[in-house]
Each structure stands twice: as C-alpha cells, then as structure tokens.
C-alpha cells in the first residue's frame, strides 16, 4: 500500500463528484489515514453523508475551515497537531469565483470579484502551506498538492477570472516549492481535464468541453475522478520524492494539442 502510515488532510470535498473525493478514495485504498475540512454546515452534511458510506469513515477528523479566516486555518492544523503530531500530505482542492464574474465579459470583471477569486483560489494555498509546514516537518517532509486547469495558458470561454486565479496558484506552487524544498516538502499541482463537478457547473459549456476532449485528445477519452485520484496517490507517495514545483497534466493529453484536425 503506497500510503500506509501516512496522515493526509483533504480540503475541498463538496459532494461525491468532487475531485477531492476522488483523491480521498485513492488515498484510502492505499492505506492513508484521512482528515477533512468543510466550509459550512451544508457542506459538512454532504461530507458526513459520504463518510458514512465507507467503513470507518465517520471516525475521520472533520474540521471547519473558511480559508478567508486565518484563525480557522491555524486552528485546523493546531487540532491535527494535537491529534496526530505530524502530517504527511495536504490536498488543497479549493476554488471559488462569483458566477457573475465567470459569465460576464472579461473586461467587465469586478474589482471585488477579482479579489475574491484570488483570495480563495490562490492565496489560500499560501496560508495553508504556512500553517502546515511544522506538521510536515515533524514527518521529515511531505507533499502539498493543489488543483489547476489549463485555462491558464489557453483561453477557455467563461473561465475568465478563475483563469487569473489559477495562474496565481501555479506561480504560488513554484515559489512554495523553492522555499519549502530544503525542509523536504514537495509542492505540486494537478491540471485536470474537465469533470462534471460542482465547481465546473458554474462554467458554461462544460459538456461541450468534454465532447471536444473526447474527440481531440490523444487518448480520445475524458478523464475520471479515479484518474486524478491515482495521480494524487503518486504525488502523495514516496514514488514522487524528487518531484516538486510541477504542474502534472491529467487530461488525456489534450493540453499538447494546438490546431486539431
């Protein structure tokens, strides 16, 4: 089991279709002990319903965390320190933008919406990494991973302000990897192809995007939660011990395509 004896925190499970839940299933299969955060009571209810469906799931630590509140972020890692004394993996699967700022013209994005998207989707990785560092060091190092999308390099209609946030997030991955590397802490991002998640539902045309991927990607198929979960297992495991500062594409190769026949 690739993750036996590892302690992992997963941030961002919204429902059974969440990328974070796919990662949780992969981690559990490979022997990791899991903890979760939730933003509010509605999402807590969703999370607990999922955990009740897996053996021993209800015993997993579940902690409230609004990443716009520094004290809540600090409390999550303090509580895990009291319970486990260390941490091996942090999965940051968090992003948010106002629907209006996804759907309006890019030049019409509001200042407030721009700031909100950057705060929740990009700055939160920095504050979580800062709070997690002592617990990861207590394990002799570890892995932090986050989720991005290739709208950073290619214009994707309706992705708008979230593309800017993901660009900031990817820059954060590289700078954190450089800073935390001497502590043997790896920082990477998974750039997943389009999935039908709660977050993706705010992006108009997601079904059409998936049709294009299936038709044009080198592997001629869309990805699944399991595909992302298995890539995350690799990044969490000692198999990726020399991998940091990278954007790992899990998109059936679609990102390499330019003009398609």
- Catalytic hit among 38, 123, 159, 175: 159
Cβ count within 10 A of residue 55 = 7
- What does the alpha-carbon distance between residue 209 and residue 67 come to, in Å, rounded to a whole number? 30
Give the closest residue to 169 by CA, choosing from 151, 182, 183: 151
Give the alpha-carbon dihedral of 84, 37, 70, 89, to 10 degrees: 50
Cβ count within 10 A of residue 239 = 11
149 is catalytic: yes
- Count, residues in the chain: 261
CA distances (Å), origin 143, targets 138, 167, 185: 13, 21, 6
- Catalytic hit among 38, 114, 123, 149: 149
User: Catalytic amino acids?
Assistant: 149, 159
């Amino acid at each position: 089991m690739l993750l036996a004896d590892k302690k992992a925190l997963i941030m961002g499970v919204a429902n059974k279709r969440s990328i974070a839940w796919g990662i949780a299933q992969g981690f559990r299969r490979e022997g990791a002990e899991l903890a979760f955060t939730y933003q509010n009571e509605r999402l807590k209810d969703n999370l607990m319903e999922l955990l009740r469906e897996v053996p021993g799931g209800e015993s997993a630590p579940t902690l409230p965390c609004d990443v716009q509140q520094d004290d809540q972020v600090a409390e999550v890692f303090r509580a895990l320190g009291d319970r486990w004394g260390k941490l091996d993996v942090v999965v940051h699967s968090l992003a948010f933008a106002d629907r209006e700022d996804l759907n309006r013209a890019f030049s019409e994005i509001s200042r407030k919406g721009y700031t909100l998207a950057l705060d929740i989707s990009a700055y939160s990785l920095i504050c979580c990494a800062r709070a997690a560092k002592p617990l990861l060091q207590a394990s002799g190092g570890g892995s932090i991973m986050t989720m991005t999308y290739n709208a950073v390099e290619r214009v994707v209609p309706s992705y708008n302000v979230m593309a800017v946030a993901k660009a900031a997030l990817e820059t954060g991955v590289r700078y954190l990897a450089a800073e935390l590397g001497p502590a043997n802490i790896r920082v990477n991002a998974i750039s997943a192809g389009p999935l039908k998640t709660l977050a993706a539902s705010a992006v108009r045309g997601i079904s059409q995007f998936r049709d294009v991927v299936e038709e044009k990607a080198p592997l001629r198929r869309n990805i699944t939660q399991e595909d992302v979960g298995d890539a995350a297992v690799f990044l969490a495991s000692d198999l990726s011990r020399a991998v940091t500062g990278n954007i790992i594409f899990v998109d059936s190769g679609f990102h390499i395509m330019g003009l398609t026949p």
